């Protein structure tokens, strides 16, 4: 097992890069992964809002603030100090809307005036929803005021009218929130698995293929088939160890999902993809022995696949043309499977069939890369023997 041991000795030299890819995965996973309890009741979205209430004494302003606190997550005063901090928070979508209630708002409003409420918004869905609510509040309050209600009656009526909420029910019992976290983790693992596996395998293989080492191996009494078998075994052990490690991380971080049938499917899907990553590593490792060139190729392949197939940005947000091109990449089928798993309602053959088809496509890619690697290494051997 000399070759097997040497493989891991060389790998040890490059472990830093693999660790970096793993740390990136861990970091992003931890950033997004606080699992929550499964909720079977409808829970309304709560946008983030910053309220700048310059009408501290006003009853209507207080009512508006209380209403907003019911509907949205209001940033605590003092959390965003200064104009620049507020503007930055808006740009980086930490708040969806900044609402400014002008001085003397309540008094003027109750006197029949309509002072402007100033808003700054991100213009997205969340901001549109907040604006709907703000408009509603102001319209109801204005109509009550017009009807001749005094402050006390108006406050009471506005409260009562706005408390009228339609019933909403979830038709699916799927734990969508936690499942989507599983999808996020395994989609992101596409990058770490691909970059980590391909980098390590390609770099170590290129070390074995370097001129003088190759010549020494050729001259040694080790049979070519045995040499190849040991390399394949070492690569397989490494790829599966890396995959197993990522699975364990997911089990620790996503307990609610990973110990269910869904978790099993995520694991199976990533296993098939790990095999594919192994074959891609083999292929790229046979392309060149120049380590710096390899590092460039790997970065382009891993980042390209991840960006184009929806590992970083959800696939439904990618342009259609990009997704069409992505069909030629194995990552696309892996990520599509992750998305499908999270939408599974039943576990019969009919609903699992698309997953099996996608898995088959990934295995097809694996076979293709194995064949390409063989062709490449055969032509390489022939050209070298001619020389």
Partner 1 sequence: MFFHNFKYTLKYLFKSRILIFWTYAFPIILGFLFYLAFSDIEKNEQLDIIDIAIVKEAAGEQRENSEDEASGNSEILLNAFEALSDENSEDQLFHTVYVSEKEAKGLLEKGKITGYLLAFEKTPKVMVKENGINETIFRQAVSEILQTAKLTAVLTEKEAGRQLAAAAGAAGGAGAGQPDWNAVAEKVLGDIQEEQANIRDISGGNLSYTMIEYYTLIAMTCLYCATIGMYAVNCILANMSRKGMRISVGPVKKGRLVLSSLCASYVVQLLGLALLFLFTIFILKVDYGPNMPLVILLALVGSFAGLSMGIAAGALIKANENTKIGIIIAVTMLGCFLSGMMGITMKYVIDSKVPVLNKINPAGMITDGLYSLYYYDTFHRYWFNIISLLIFSALMIGISFFALKRQKYKSL
Per CB under 8 A, which of residues 274..313 are in contact with partner 1? 292-293, 296, 299-300, 303-304, 307-308, 312-313
What would the 3-class secondary structure string for 206-257 be?
Answer: HHHHCHHHHHHHHHCCCCHHHHHHHHHHHHHHHHHHHHHHHHHHHHHHCHHH
Which of 225, 316, 346, 385 touches partner 1 (CB under 8 A)? 316
**Residue 116-155 contact track with partner 1, rule CB under 8 A, x = bound:** xxxxxxxxxxx-xx-xxxxxxxxxx-xxx-xxxx------
Using DSSP, state whether 149 is helix, strand or coil.
Answer: coil
- Tell me, rounded to whole angstroms, the distance of Cα 9 from its chain centroid: 34
Which of 91, 224, 259, 347 touches partner 1 (CB under 8 A)? 91
Instruction: Say which DSSP state 134 is in.
Output: H
Between residue 158 and residue 177, which ones bind partner 1 under the rule CB under 8 A? Answer: 160-162, 164-172, 174, 176-177
Neighbouring CB atoms inside 10 A of 137's CB total 20
Q: Is 65 one of the binding residues for partner 1 (CB under 8 A)? A: no
Tell me if 158 sits within 8 A of 137, measured CB to CB: yes
Least distance (Å) from partner 1 to the CB of residue 18? 14
Q: Which among 86-94, 199-207, 226-234, 244-252 is the span making contact with partner 1, rule CB under 8 A?
A: 86-94
Q: Cα–Cα distances in Å, from 251 out to 8, 25, 34, 244?
A: 27, 14, 13, 10
Between residue 66 and residue 85, which ones bind partner 1 under the rule CB under 8 A? Answer: 84-85
Q: What φ, ψ does residue 173 adopt, rounded to 5°?
A: -95, 10
Checking DSSP bridges between strand 97-101 and strand 48-53, what pairing results, if any?
Answer: parallel
**Residue 14-53 contact track with partner 1, rule CB under 8 A, x = bound:** ------x---x---x----------x--xxxx--------
Least distance (Å) from partner 1 to the CB of residue 38? 12
Least distance (Å) from partner 1 to the CB of residue 161? 5
Q: Is 3 one of the binding residues for partner 1 (CB under 8 A)? A: no
Q: Is 335 one of the binding residues for partner 1 (CB under 8 A)? A: no
Between residue 200 and residue 259, which ones bind partner 1 under the rule CB under 8 A? Answer: none
Least distance (Å) from partner 1 to the CB of residue 124? 4
Residue whose C-alpha is closest to residue 231's, from 22, 387, 73, 1: 1
Which of 248, 293 has the CB closer to partner 1?
Answer: 293
Tell me the number of residues near partner 1 by CB under 8 A.
83
Residue whose C-alpha is closest to residue 316's, from 293, 290, 340, 299: 340
């Amino acid at each position: 097992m000399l070759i097997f041991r040497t493989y891991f000795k060389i790998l040890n030299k490059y472990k830093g890069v693999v660790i970096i890819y793993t740390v990136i995965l861990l970091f992003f996973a931890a950033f997004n992964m606080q699992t929550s309890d499964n909720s079977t009741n409808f829970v309304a979205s709560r946008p983030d809002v910053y309220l700048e209430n310059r009408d501290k004494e006003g009853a209507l302003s207080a009512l508006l603030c209380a209403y907003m606190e019911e509907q949205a997550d209001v940033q605590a005063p003092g959390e965003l100090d200064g104009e620049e901090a507020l503007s930055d928070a808006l740009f980086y979508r930490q708040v969806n809307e900044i609402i400014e209630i002008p001085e003397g708002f309540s008094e003027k409003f109750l006197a029949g005036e309509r002072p402007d409420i100033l808003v700054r918004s991100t213009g997205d869905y969340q901001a549109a929803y907040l604006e709907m609510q703000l408009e509603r509040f102001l319209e109801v309050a204005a109509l009550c005021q017009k009807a001749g209600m005094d402050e006390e009656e108006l406050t009471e009526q506005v409260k009562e009218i706005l408390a009228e909420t339609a019933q909403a029910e979830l038709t699916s019992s799927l734990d969508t929130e936690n499942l989507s976290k599983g999808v996020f983790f395994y989609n992101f693992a596409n990058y770490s698995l691909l970059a980590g596996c391909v980098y390590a395998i390609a770099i170590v293989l290129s070390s074995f293929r370097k001129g003088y080492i190759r010549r020494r191996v050729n001259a040694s009494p080790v049979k070519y088939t045995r040499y190849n078998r040991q390399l394949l075994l070492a690569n397989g052990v490494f790829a599966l160890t890396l995959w197993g490690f990522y699975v364990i991380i997911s089990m620790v971080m996503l307990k609610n999902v990973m110990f269910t049938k869904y978790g099993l499917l995520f694991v199976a899907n990533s296993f098939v993809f790990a095999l594919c990553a192994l074959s891609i590593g083999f292929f790229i490792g046979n392309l060149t022995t120049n380590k710096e060139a390899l590092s460039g190729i790997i970065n382009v392949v891993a980042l390209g696949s991840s960006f184009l197939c929806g590992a970083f940005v959800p696939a439904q947000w990618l342009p259609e043309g990009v997704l069409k091109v992505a069909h030629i990449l194995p990552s696309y089928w892996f990520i599509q499977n992750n998305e499908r798993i999270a939408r599974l309602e039943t576990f019969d053959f009919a609903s699992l069939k698309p997953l099996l088809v996608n898995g088959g496509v990934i295995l097809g890619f694996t076979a293709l890369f194995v064949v390409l690697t063989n062709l490449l290494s055969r032509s390489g051997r022939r050209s070298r023997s001619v020389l």
